[in-house]
Amino acid sequence: MMKGNAKRVQAILLAGDRGHARAVKGRSKAFVEVAGRPMIVHVMEALLHTPEISEVYVVGDAVRLEKIIAEYGLLLLAASRSCPVHIVPQRETLYDNIWYTFLRTLPGHGPHEDRAVLILPADIPLVVPEELSDFVRQSKALGVDYVLGITPHSALLPYEPHDGQPGIRMASFNLREGRYRQNNLHYVCPLRLGNRHYIQDVYENRYQREVGHMLRLGARILWREYRHLWVLFYYALMHLAASLDWRGYGKLANRLRAWIPLARIERGISGLLRTRFRTVITAFGGAALDVDNDQDLDVVDKMLFPWKERQARLARAQGPHGSQHAAQPPRKASAA
């Protein structure tokens, strides 16, 4: 474990069930059981075993969270890892949950503009400490204000149905560099985000398969940020290519994605959020497999252990230096 907290970051774990949160099996996703334990327990264990994490702030139903954290021995684990756990009562929106929890992480004196936190949801029970470590290390090395994790489609193929085994086929977005899915990991300096209020808009229209919602979101944001109307061209191409790809028109989707370079997308998001935005790649796959419906839950419940073992083998193969994608070529991140 790392000595001291100087090189460690705080994590905000989102387990709320208000606003636009989606239920699974009619219940709050954080508390639905996977392999005999609530989803949030799997995610918290991964966080507490991640050397780069100094503290965990869990946002949600405080009464239920306190009961589960005590019942499953997470406080003892947190003490053994020198990684305190704090429970934060949920508010009405995702944005409020993130913002007011972030304020609680701040010490009593500033400045705080460069303080970064790791933000992740409670519905990714397949995430492993190695992926969290890989993401945090890469994000810190970039020295920007907002880093989003993405996972190559090729890394998700082993989790799709094959050879008689159940699986999950996740929607991906298309770029010149390949097909990717955002992996639910965010490394953020909240005070450096000029347009952080757009986080709620994106959350409410976050499902990639619902193309109409995504296009309406793009139009609404770009109408306000008219200086960045050029982004609409790439935004529309990206989601059109995703729609074609999902419907089986892979060749046509590949032609479209040749017009969508990742660096241009990063530049556009930097401008829209008025910050310095970048992406990093993690190839484990677990963080990208969020549980959004009853069918996915049934599959993850059955495949949790073999899929986690697969990620463990991948971590052992990569060794102490982390992801094969860790050394990415530097790209200039533009701010508005």
- Summarize pLDDT for 60-95 with one digit per residue, the tens: 999 999 999 999 999 999 999 999 999 999 988 888
Q: How confident is the model at residue 332 (pLDDT cuts 50, 70, 90)?
A: very low
Cis omega (within 30 of 0) for bond into 111: yes
Joined together, the tokens standing for residue 167 give 């699986």
Between 234 and 128, residue with greater pLDDT: 128
Domain annotation for the chain: domains and CATH numbers: 9-321 (3.90.550.10)
Convert the pLDDT of each residue in 204-215 to its tens digit. 544 444 455 555
pLDDT surpasses 50 at 5:
no
Confidence (pLDDT) at 182: 92
Residue 284's nearest CA partner among 104, 192, 159 is 159
Convert the pLDDT of each residue in 230-252 to its tens digit. 777 787 788 788 888 888 888 89
Residue 32's nearest CA partner among 57, 68, 83 is 68
Share of the chain above pLDDT 70, in %: 81
What average pLDDT score do residues 275-296 get?
A: 94
Between 174 and 239, residue with greater pLDDT: 174
CA 215 from centre of chain: 21
To the nearest whole number, what is the mean pLDDT of the chain? 85
Least-confidence region, from 8-12, 30-34, 105-109, 152-156: 105-109
pLDDT surpasses 50 at 39:
yes
Least-confidence region, from 48-62, 84-98, 127-141: 84-98
pLDDT surpasses 80 at 108:
no
Joined together, the tokens standing for residue 155 give 């890394």
d(CA 159, CA 162): 8
Other beta carbons within 10 Å of 248: 9
Between 282 and 220, residue with greater pLDDT: 282
Q: How confident is the model at residue 322 (pLDDT cuts 50, 70, 90)?
A: low
Confidence (pLDDT) at 63: 95
Confidence (pLDDT) at 328: 42
Joined together, the tokens standing for residue 281 give 């790649």
What average pLDDT score do residues 171-179 get?
A: 89
pLDDT surpasses 90 at 125:
yes
Confidence (pLDDT) at 235: 75
What average pLDDT score do residues 103-121 get?
A: 88
Confidence (pLDDT) at 216: 58
Confidence (pLDDT) at 320: 65
Show Cβ contacts of residue 122 under 8 Å, excluding neighbours closer than 6 positions.
Answer: 13, 14, 15, 29, 30, 39, 40, 43, 60
